[in-house]
Structure 1
Amino acid sequence: MKFGLVTALSALVLAACGGNTVGDSEETAWDAIEEKGKITVATSGTLFPSSYYGDDNVLTGYEVEIMKAIGEKLDVDVEFMEMGVDGILTSVQSGQADMAANGFDITDARKEDYLFSEPYKYSFGGLVVRASDNSGIESFEDWDGKKAAGGATTTYMGIARSLGAEPVTYDNATNDIFFRDVASGRTDFIPNDYYISNTAVQFFADLGVKMHDLKYNPSEQAIVLSNDDNSVKEKVDEALAELREEGVLSELSAEFFGGEDVTEPLENVDELPVFEPED
């Protein structure tokens, strides 16, 4: 009987030790990426100049090229999965994509569900209006009752709703479609990131739209990651730090944003008004 008791106790001890060994060697999210040899990145492919198709019909843009450079640093391939902006974050949460790069602001609400890399872009909110009449907008109070164009779940459309604008939502439309609708009166304005909007307005200079003087909501933008564990964030942040130190981020910024350096925190933005987006 004593022999049997000792044997049983020994088996329990071995089983417990075995459980700890398995726990210690549990695969991380980065291990899974390394094993498959690629990162899957959700992006729109329609957001000039961050994620779009150039004249050679190849996907490029500020954030696309950053992701390609990160892939080289981490020695993995980068596969882009294109979809409408309203489905991008969901794809990260569901595991369909490993991360997302499409001009996403870091917000407290999003940090409840996702991790973010270190920021690679500093900006604020801008406003595209009709060149002929400013779309009848002189102040933020004038947003009330106006038709705001954008993706349904974006931070900027949430701000527009909070200020009384009527949302007109689009599913992964290109900049020129947005601009033509503002110029024709189908919509009144496009609330969005200033640098993205300003660069696009200059590129599509003949479409009858312009940047308004109103500025608001300072922002930091980064890669969106799953909050399953920190392993992928740690790797991505290491790569971003190297790219920043080597000057690659500032070079890409100058290339895609008309010489502007969006990689450094902006001065005097604390003076800008801040509006809470409506869910």
Structure 2
Amino acid sequence: MKKIIMLCLGIMTAGLVLAGCGQQAKQAAPDAGKAGKIVVGLDDNYPPMGFRDENNNITGFDVDLAKEAAKRLKREVEFKPIDWSSKEAELKSGRVDVLWNGLDITEKRKENMLFSDPYMDNRQIVFVRNDSAIKTAADLKGKIVGTQSGSTGEENINKDAKLKSSLKEVKAYPDFIAAFMDLENGRIDAIVGDEITGRYYMSKHPDKFAARDIVIGDITSFGIGFAKDNQKLRDEVQKVLNEMKKDGTMAKISQKWFGKDITKK
């Protein structure tokens, strides 16, 4: 009888092990199907590079670029909105595979990530209300200036000790849309931000804002950010970007969003 009981227990144990393995296989299956997915981290309130349209779908120049790159790589792409001020942490943790959203290439950022070749130039300039008396950098003295938290604009203000000390206050916003809303309502006097994004926003509100040709910091270039240990993905994406430049696809996408080809050759 004891042998029979032991035999039954053995069979039951083996059944549980097999059931557990089967359950693990079921759980692993979805992950295996996602092996080729590229998760793109972006600020989804950053027109025209990446933002939500009237139907709440994520769209934009960089979004179209990423979709075309993923298509050529025969990989699925997922767009994941993130806190832009925590972008390096999101990339390092593996929660996103790339940062692809008007990301300026800077020496400081190169310490924490790999970059694609630059594909578009960008400047940090000053935006004001249409009736503003601010015309030069000197006119910013004693003013409240807004910018996006974690942006190149914020970095450039912080690096310019003379400029920063002359300002009454620097207000950092989660995105430039919020900054423009406060500018319109008179809560701040000016914005330091990406020329491309600012001019796009201005085009949607033509009678409210003006751009001043006051450049804060150096002219920079947009690039795609990858984790330091992900050289393989960086090279794969760069290869298809080169193809898109050569066959005119990148120029076509630029024409769609900017009315002309403003990408780097």
Q: Amino acid of the residue matched to residue 257 of structure 2?
A: F
Q: Which residue of 2 aligns with 1:168?
A: 171
Q: Which residue of 2 aligns with 1:154?
A: 151
| 5+ residue gaps, structure 1 | 1-31, 266-279
Measure the CA separation in 2 of the matches of 1:152 and 1:123: 17
Judged with a 3 Å threshold, the aligned counterparts in structure 2 of structure 1 residues 229 and 33 are, in CA distance, closer, same or farther, namely farther
Residues 1:241 and 2:238 are matched in the alignment: no
Measure the CA separation in 2 of the matches of 1:215 and 1:92: 29
The structural deviation recorded for 1:215 is 3.1
Measure the CA separation in 2 of the matches of 1:87 and 1:231: 24
Question: Secondary structure of 1:150's match?
Answer: strand
Q: Which residue of 1 aligns with 2:6?
A: none
Residues 1:103 and 2:102 are matched in the alignment: yes
Judged with a 3 Å threshold, the aligned counterparts in structure 2 of structure 1 residues 78 and 229 are, in CA distance, closer, same or farther, namely closer
Indicate the larger mover: 219-228 or 245-254.
245-254
Rg larger in structure? 2
Measure the CA separation in 1 of the matches of 2:97 and 2:40: 6
Tell me the TM-score normalised to structure 2 length.
0.79
Q: Amino acid of the residue matched to residue 81 of structure 1?
A: K
Judged with a 3 Å threshold, the aligned counterparts in structure 2 of structure 1 residues 241 and 143 are, in CA distance, closer, same or farther, namely same
Question: Secondary structure of 1:101's match?
Answer: strand
Measure the CA separation in 1 of the matches of 2:125 and 2:60: 19
Judged with a 3 Å threshold, the aligned counterparts in structure 2 of structure 1 residues 144 and 93 are, in CA distance, closer, same or farther, namely farther
Does the 8 Å CA contact 1:33/1:39 hold for their aligned counterparts? no
Q: Amino acid of the residue matched to residue 143 of structure 2?
A: K
Question: Secondary structure of 1:214's match?
Answer: strand
Matches within 5 A, 1:29-44: 36-44=35-43
The structural deviation recorded for 1:34 is 9.4
The structural deviation recorded for 1:141 is 2.8
Question: Secondary structure of 2:77's match?
Answer: strand
| 5+ residue gaps, structure 2 | 1-30
Residues 1:75 and 2:74 are matched in the alignment: yes
Report which of the two has the higher share of strand.
2
Measure the CA separation in 2 of the matches of 1:141 and 1:34: 57
CA shift digits 1:134-172 (9 cap, x unpaired):
xx422223334322222222111122233214221222x
Matches within 5 A, 1:89-100: 89-100=88-99
Residue in structure 2 matching 1:142, options 109, 127, 139? 139
Residues 1:225 and 2:222 are matched in the alignment: no
Residues 1:215 and 2:215 are matched in the alignment: yes
Q: Which residue of 2 aligns with 1:128?
A: 127
Does the 8 Å CA contact 2:148/2:179 hold for their aligned counterparts? no
The structural deviation recorded for 1:39 is 0.4
CA shift digits 1:30-84 (9 cap, x unpaired):
xx99971200110011001110112333211011111111110111111111022
Measure the CA separation in 1 of the matches of 2:32 and 2:146: 37
Does the 8 Å CA contact 1:137/1:143 hold for their aligned counterparts? yes
CA shift digits 1:96-146 (9 cap, x unpaired):
11111121111111111110011121122222111111xx42222333432
Judged with a 3 Å threshold, the aligned counterparts in structure 2 of structure 1 residues 159 and 143 are, in CA distance, closer, same or farther, namely farther
Paired residues in the alignment total 228
Does the 8 Å CA contact 1:43/1:82 hold for their aligned counterparts? yes
Question: Secondary structure of 1:104's match?
Answer: strand
Question: Secondary structure of 1:249's match?
Answer: helix
Does the 8 Å CA contact 1:42/1:100 hold for their aligned counterparts? yes
The structural deviation recorded for 1:89 is 2.5
Does the 8 Å CA contact 1:148/1:160 hold for their aligned counterparts? no
The structural deviation recorded for 1:226 is 0.4
CA shift digits 1:189-243 (9 cap, x unpaired):
221121221121111224x211112235211101111011411111010010011
Q: Amino acid of the residue matched to residue 246 of structure 1?
A: D
Q: Which residue of 2 aligns with 1:198?
A: 199
Does the 8 Å CA contact 1:34/1:76 hold for their aligned counterparts? no
Q: Amino acid of the residue matched to residue 77 of structure 2?
A: V
Q: Which residue of 1 aligns with 2:189?
A: 188
Q: Which residue of 1 aligns with 2:59?
A: 60
Does the 8 Å CA contact 2:148/2:176 hold for their aligned counterparts? no
Measure the CA separation in 1 of the matches of 2:238 and 2:222: 13
